[in-house]
Structure 1
Amino acid sequence: MTSHSHILPTIDTSQGIEIGLYTLGDHLANPHTGERISTQQRISEIIEMGILAEEAGLDLFQIGESHQEYFVSQAHLIILSAIAQATKRIKLTSGATIISTADPVRVFEDAATIDHISKGRMELVAGRASRVGLYDLLGYDLKDYEALFEEKFDLLLQINENKQVSWQGEFRAPLNDAHVLPRSDRQSGGLPIWRAVGGSLGSAQKAGLAGVPMYQAHLGGPVSVFKRPIDLYREAAAQAGWEVDQLPVATAGFLYLHEDTKEAYRQYYPHINEGMKRTNGQGFPKRGFAQGMDVRSIINVGDPELIIDKLLYQHEAFGMQRYVGQIDFGGVPMDAIKRTIDLLGEKVVPVVKKYTAKK
């Protein structure tokens, strides 16, 4: 075992995998009606989603940040703090906080404050950004993409795990015996921090070598493609001397539930396709989306029985401890969001937890 373990999330695997929801805070028109709700209503509905997720018995709610047109989650930690005040049990996490373009000191201060508001329910997922417009907006050079993340992520971990920090790097002024406050009331004084991994095998390997929890998000494709980074993560962690069984993996992706699978695909495809056009510059291939009906596809769209089969298939492949579904992308209306949450809580979660529980 290496000499210094990081602060890890507490996940009771005897109760099965954790299941939660996430939003990236996109603000798009409903493609079926052309209606785009106001910014105020969108933010209010995100807060309501967090409250409904707790009422449905889900384990966590997560908000990512984006700094471009068609998003309202630029201040994602402020929205999380509102949910912290309005809930009592559900875990709260960022997903992802773009640490590359943020000051780790301020990120820790804000997250630790939410931990106090929520009475110890806050976690962080730190990422590098798949949408890179925020580098210019916030005054960073995109050529430093990798170096910025590695330096800032390392500093965030040091602040999280030490009451006083002396540090020197390339991209910000040094710290000399800095005492970053507030500290969490947890015994460790810090928070669970995950490393977000996209399609990069190198990033998965670095997460394993560092011995930090890994969060992997998916858009579409076969489950087998996304197994490789997780396997590499665990191989690297074992090679570095970490106790692999203690390191959790979270997976995340599109989730949409309807009582009828064909109706789910008919309703949801325009949201995904138009949403991807607006935020990523190109739509989602219709054939690739339709392949989601195959249990071996990573896209979790369908009736409760199909989603149960899919999550159990993914768990068998990945061995993840947490699954987080994105249910609101592309202007999905609130009534459909509520239906997904209800079906998830009533039909899916109890079965998936039963069959993934470790005795």
Structure 2
Amino acid sequence: MNFEFGVYSLGERIPDANGNVLSAQERIENIIQMAKWADEAGLDVFGVGEHHRLDFVTSSYAMLLAAIARETKNVKLTSTLSVISTADPVRVYEDFSTLDLLSGGRTEIILGRGAFLESFSLFGASLDDYDKLFEEKLGLFMELQERDVVNWQGEFRSSLGNAQIAPRPVQKKLPMWIGVGGTPASAVRAGKLAANMALGLLGGEPERVQHLTNLYWQAARDAGHDLSQLKVSVTGHGYIAEDGAQAMREFTPHYNQYMTHFMKDRRIPYSPMVPEQMMPQRVANQILAVGSAGELAEKILYQHELFGHLRFMGQFDMGNQPMARVEKAIDLLSNKVAPIVRRALNK
């Protein structure tokens, strides 16, 4: 399989260094423009996350992906990710099947539980049912993939009796990924179900999370699945510039804005860092995907040895990073990083 590259946006809308906040309309336009740049640069995939807060613009993320579908030609479109625990799987499936029709068969979906919990109270779900909700709704979504008339019964949603599930997508099945943070049980579940695994990594040493991919591959092997048909992706915070030190200088203030805003929201202390403190994270055995094209390629190849992953996706627009820089980073990912990685893996 060819190694794939992509970018994604969570659509956060937070104050910049001067306290200014983009309008929701401008932020959405920026995300659409980012997707167009990804498509024009020849990247493989573009993603939009789901959040239901005033400091995000992606609550109706499937609608935003639909707008992007009509502005792009080749790039695959995915959620990063869909919070299936608090959604109606029938509606999610219908939305993404329609997106597949709109995009001419370019749709994927990442299902997960998400890092934020606001959707539970918003949609009347109990945190006491956190695990059971995910298990049941994930199972129903997978059932919807298999047949267009469904009979189903569960605990948290009304039963389905000869329910017609429409429209059907262009693809026989929507390529499905399960988003995994740091929970071993989630990695095992993805492997048992023969779902691709989207591994969200935000920092630290990759060796510390290698056990998750080991568990995934072993669970898939034990279940008798064809490992050659499965994929692991690595997603996380990232940025690229012509020079590694320049990349870290340009990235750090925006990383600080992002982390300060969301750590304060969670009442977790965060001390902003200066670029000099961040420079050591440019080396290959650090997860943070920031540096020159050569440095990022080296990181990806280092992690490939540990994880066996076949996709990298970076969040380049975080913390009000100027869009001109985002465009440049996308160009470098496609035209500098991707060729280095693919040449090394195809030897």
- TM-score bracket relative to the smaller structure: over 0.9
Alignment RMSD: 1.6
- Match of 1:99, as an amino acid? I
Instruction: Tell me, yes or no, if structure 1 residue 142 matches structure 2 residue 142.
Output: no
Hey, what's the Cα distance between the residues in 2 that align with 1:237 and 1:22? 27
1:209 matched to which residue of 2?
A: 192
1:261 matched to which residue of 2?
A: 244
Moved more, 281-290 or 317-326: 281-290
Which residue of 292, 298, 315 maps to 1:326? 315
CA drift at 1:288: 7.7
1:170–1:301: structure 2 CA closer, same or farther, 3 Å change rule? same
The equivalences for 1:1-359 within 5 A come to 13=1, 16-31=2-17, 33-186=18-171, 188=172, 190-281=173-264, 282=268, 283=270, 286=273, 289-357=278-346
CA drift at 1:342: 1.7
Gaps of 5+ in 1: 1-12
Hey, what's the Cα distance between the residues in 2 that align with 1:289 and 1:137? 37
CA drift at 1:29: 2.8
Hey, what's the Cα distance between the residues in 2 that align with 1:59 and 1:21? 9
TM-score, with normalisation over the residues of structure 1?
0.91
1:165–1:225: structure 2 CA closer, same or farther, 3 Å change rule? same
Hey, what's the Cα distance between the residues in 2 that align with 1:210 and 1:117? 28
Mapped contact 1:295–1:309 kept (Cα < 8 A): yes
CA drift at 1:274: 2.1
CA drift at 1:179: 1.3
Hey, what's the Cα distance between the residues in 2 that align with 1:162 and 1:289? 50
- Match of 1:270, as an amino acid? P
Gaps of 5+ in 2: none
Hey, what's the Cα distance between the residues in 1 that align with 2:120 and 2:111? 16
Mapped contact 1:135–1:141 kept (Cα < 8 A): yes
Tell me, what secondary structure is at the counterpart of 1:340? Answer: helix
| Sequence identity percentage | 40
Hey, what's the Cα distance between the residues in 1 that align with 2:332 and 2:159? 50
Mapped contact 2:245–2:279 kept (Cα < 8 A): no
Mapped contact 1:30–1:333 kept (Cα < 8 A): no
TM-score, with normalisation over the residues of structure 2?
0.94
Tell me, what secondary structure is at the counterpart of 1:86? Answer: coil
- Match of 1:300, as an amino acid? A
The superposition leaves residues 43-90 of structure 1 with CA deviations (integer Å, 9 ceiling, x where unpaired) of: 001001111001111001011111123111111111100110111111
Hey, what's the Cα distance between the residues in 1 that align with 2:240 and 2:154? 47
Mapped contact 2:47–2:80 kept (Cα < 8 A): yes
CA drift at 1:356: 2.3
